């Protein structure tokens, strides 16, 4: 119920306008978003790299409807890649195809996105294509496979364990030798395309994780769920899979303690660092994914309110 509510808010233009203009909203968002500029994103990536973490940077945005906006998004990624390379950060980039023009024209989309692929390949850098709602799943995989066949093997995909089709998609990725980020999924989907019960989503996650660790190419296991993390660790130890053959991935600002614990145990950890002005939908989906995030937000908002003295010890 709470998850569906926050996903609904992420799609509401009225709620977006209200939240983005609310006092203190940006300071609250900074828990989960590095900032609004490339410089702020790079500064966060720099600090994480110094702490021994790996990073993927995501310039926030989705569902772009004009070619100018889409080109500007790609241009931002080009500048971002140059900054990562110049500073020699242990970082790559993640992007959404709807931000690049997927809803405008497929030919335009390909030309726009391959500008980013080319720039990344020049610096031996990896690009991850984020997965969005089920309306885009097949289109995104088709785009990814076409790009791969054109020689863009520095590109990987995200697959979601709540999607019923994901086993066949993992099989395809493993056959290609493509890198997969496995996550649970953050959109409200109908029962015919997605598992609805947490137990089903978790069981699917574990099954797909085993496929990826056993037969995949350097997968990213993206979860903050300690049961999923423990299952991954147990499987890798049982099958004697080296710790440098995969990585755990977690969101910026979420379970920092767990990130540090895994790093201390010798596992590779990559932090997903978003930045940009379009932080509202991202923030709402983080609320949908983890109830603990909601309590953090409520507390922070109240601290900014006239009742803040109650939370500041005054």
Containing structural domain, residue 109: 38-275
Angle at 116 between CA 79 and CA 278, to 5 degrees: 65
32-65 confidence digits (pLDDT tens): 899 999 999 999 999 999 999 999 999 998 889 9
Query: Is 285 part of a structural domain of the chain?
Result: no
183 pLDDT above the threshold of 50:
yes
Per-residue pLDDT band at 308 (split at 50, 70, 90): very low
Query: Is 13 part of a structural domain of the chain?
Result: no
Q: What is the pLDDT of residue 312?
A: 37
Query: Is 223 part of a structural domain of the chain?
Result: yes
Helix, strand and coil content of the chain, in percent to the nearest 5, comes to 55, 15, 30
270 pLDDT above the threshold of 80:
yes
Q: How many helices (H) and strands (E) does the chain have?
A: 13, 8
Query: Is 74 part of a structural domain of the chain?
Result: yes
73 pLDDT above the threshold of 70:
yes
Query: Is 156 part of a structural domain of the chain?
Result: yes
Q: Which residue has the higher pLDDT, 299 or 41?
A: 41
Q: Which residues are catalytic?
A: 130, 181
Q: How far is CA 141 from the centre of its chain?
A: 16
309 pLDDT above the threshold of 80:
no
CATH of the domain at 214: 3.20.20.220
289 pLDDT above the threshold of 90:
no
227-239 confidence digits (pLDDT tens): 999 999 999 999 9
Query: Is 159 part of a structural domain of the chain?
Result: yes
Total domain count, the chain? 1
15 pLDDT above the threshold of 70:
no
Nearest CA to 266 among 244, 285, 251, 296?
244
């Amino acid at each position: 119920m709470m998850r569906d509510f926050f996903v609904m808010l992420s799609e509401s233009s009225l709620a977006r306008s209200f939240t983005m203009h609310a006092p203190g909203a940006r300071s609250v968002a900074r828990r989960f978003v590095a900032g609004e500029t490339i410089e702020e994103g790079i500064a966060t990536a720099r600090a994480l790299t110094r702490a021994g973490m790996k990073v993927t940077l995501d310039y926030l945005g989705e569902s772009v409807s004009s070619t100018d906006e889409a080109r500007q998004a790609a241009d931002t990624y080009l500048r971002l890649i140059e900054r990562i390379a110049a500073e020699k950060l242990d970082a790559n980039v993640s992007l959404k195809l709807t931000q690049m023009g997927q809803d405008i024209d497929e030919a335009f989309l390909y030309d726009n996105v391959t500008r980013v692929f080319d720039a990344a390949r020049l610096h031996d850098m990896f690009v991850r294509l984020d997965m969005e709602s089920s309306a885009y799943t097949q289109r995104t995989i088709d785009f990814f496979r076409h790009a791969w066949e054109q020689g863009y093997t520095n590109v990987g995909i995200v697959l979601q364990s709540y999607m019923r089709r994901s086993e066949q998609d993992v099989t395809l990725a493993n056959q290609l030798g493509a890198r997969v980020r496995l996550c649970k999924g953050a959109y409200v989907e109908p029962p015919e395309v997605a598992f609805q019960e947490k137990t089903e989503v978790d069981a699917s996650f574990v099954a797909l994780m085993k496929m990826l660790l056993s037969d995949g190419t350097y997968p990213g296991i993206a979860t903050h769920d300690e049961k999923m993390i423990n299952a991954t660790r147990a499987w890798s130890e049982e099958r004697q899979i080296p710790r440098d053959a995969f990585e755990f991935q977690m969101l910026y600002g979420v379970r920092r303690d767990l990130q540090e614990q895994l790093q201390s145990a010798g596992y590779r950890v990559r932090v997903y660092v978003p930045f940009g002005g379009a932080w509202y939908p991202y923030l709402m989906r983080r609320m949908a994914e983890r109830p603990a995030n909601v309590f953090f937000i409520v507390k922070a908002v109240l601290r900014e309110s006239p009742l803040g003295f109650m939370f500041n010890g005054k």
